[in-house]
Amino acid sequence: MTIKLLLLLLGLVAGCAVADDVLQLNDADFDSKTASHDTVLVMFFAPWCGHCKRLKPEFEKAASTLKSNDPPVILAKVDCTEDGKDTCSRFQVSGYPTLKIFKGGELSTDYNGPREANGIVKYMRSQVGPASKELTSIEVAEAFLAAPEVSVVYFGEDSKLKDAFLQAADKLRETVRFAHSVEAEVDEKFGHKNVIVLYRPKHLDNKFEPSSVVYDGLGDKTAIQAFIKKNYFGLVGHRTQDAAGEFVPPLVVGYYNVDYVKNPKGTNYWRNRILKVAENFEDFNFGISNKDDFQHELNEFGLDFVAGDKPVVCARDIKSQKFVMKDEFTMENLETFLTQLSAGELEPYLKSEPVPTQDGPVTVAVAKNFEEVVTNSEKDVLIEFYAPWCGHCKKLAPTYDELGEAMKNENVAIVKMDATANDVPPSFNVRGFPTIFWKPAGGSPVSYNGGRELDDFIKYIAKEATTELKGWDRKGKARKVEL
């Protein structure tokens, strides 16, 4: 009992230490405390804000790492509902959480980087010091390369290649670690001179690809950037939340208990098996992701829960169509899945509600009938993508029904689709609700940004319709009905 209590107390102390690494600022001390540090990332928050509560533990973890950075970066917070109201007003904080970077007490820029600990650390490290670290000794170089991240290093003397390297470093400093040697002993120790080398972190070492790659191109920053992008993640990259956007289709991802902190050996056990197959399928990009961190993605593939230790494999082809490997993971099953995927022999997964019976003034689209009622429709289509919980969508619904009734005798279809329950084709870029598109017959979708009143819709449709409306002229003026 005593041991359990001691462990609990130690956990509480550790938690408090992490929380204390974030400075609490207010109206009285904001200017003086931010001015006393070179770089400060400030989170303006409200205690009731759900997004703020989710960010808080990630922000605290990042703070404990960045305080010992060279040079240090301080993370701070301001409560906009209490003793920080004036400061929040002064910096025009209109939503929570809002993050801003201050340098020497002055506002530098808004923070638009990742919202999880590792991403915050990487982004803020890029905001301080030079883009490329000077390797002044063998010890400094070894310490730099010991970090669990990809590192890109220039070895050698001043040259056009070095100039281009430094330009590339400045361009990519927010996502990539760079360093350059300034001592001949460093070049000799690592066996390189007048070259650029990309080093992969030791925990990703494997027998299927080299642990480092030498750039053999010209002194051109664009070419160097392309080299880094091509080789950064290796054959099967560790796809974290902050780096997910860098992995593009055609993409194959193994979702399982990826954890390079608590279980690197177990993580690499499955990664190596994916690597063994991946080396024979060069047309695909590959990654591994933690199944809990990416449950939202698994939901998009129809997987609400993944049991067991084995990876679940999901893929997107070049058209971003989704595919799920239905068989239990083995190297043989993965190879069969990829072979069939390459040959176009697999049926894509489509998240869709059942095709409904149409009995109202507005046609209901789901993923399964989308091509019929929208993409290949012989009519012009106005389609609303909505969410059931969206207040603006609920407010629009009566007007949209009126519009459907008004257009029932026209060569125009008024359509709606629940975008939370159905896959939306990539050509319809839905980022909020409601989102409305005009799709002319045989044409491409165009975003509708007009008013939301009935008359606004009618005027727009009257002007844009492929065939002039029967009930309205091109200006949206109702035609007279002859008796």
State the catalytic residues.
49, 52, 390, 393
Element (H, E) at 199: strand 195-199
Describe the strand order of the beta sheet including 312-316 as a list of residue ranges.
237-238, 285-290, 251-256, 312-316, 322-324
Listed residue (302, 304, 421, 300) closest to 354, CA to CA = 421
Question: 256 CB contacts (<8 Å, ≥6 apart)?
Answer: 270, 288, 290, 291, 306, 309, 310, 311, 312
363 close to 419: Cβ distance less than 8 angstroms:
no
Helix (H, G, I), strand (E, B) or coil at 411: coil
Listed residue (328, 297, 298) closest to 311, CA to CA = 328
CA–CA dist 435, 428 (Å, integer) = 9
Element (H, E) at 5: helix 2-20
Exposure of 318 by Cβ count < 10 A (0-12 exposed, 13-18 middle, 19+ buried)?
A: exposed
418 close to 450: Cβ distance less than 8 angstroms:
no
CA–CA dist 34, 383 (Å, integer) = 49
479 close to 473: Cβ distance less than 8 angstroms:
yes
Helix (H, G, I), strand (E, B) or coil at 337: helix
Q: Return the C-alpha torsion angle 320, 302, 115, 175, nearest 10.
A: -40
376-379-384 Cα angle (round to 5)? 80
Question: Residue 104: which region, alpha, beta or left (left: phi > 0; alpha: psi -120 to 50)?
Answer: left
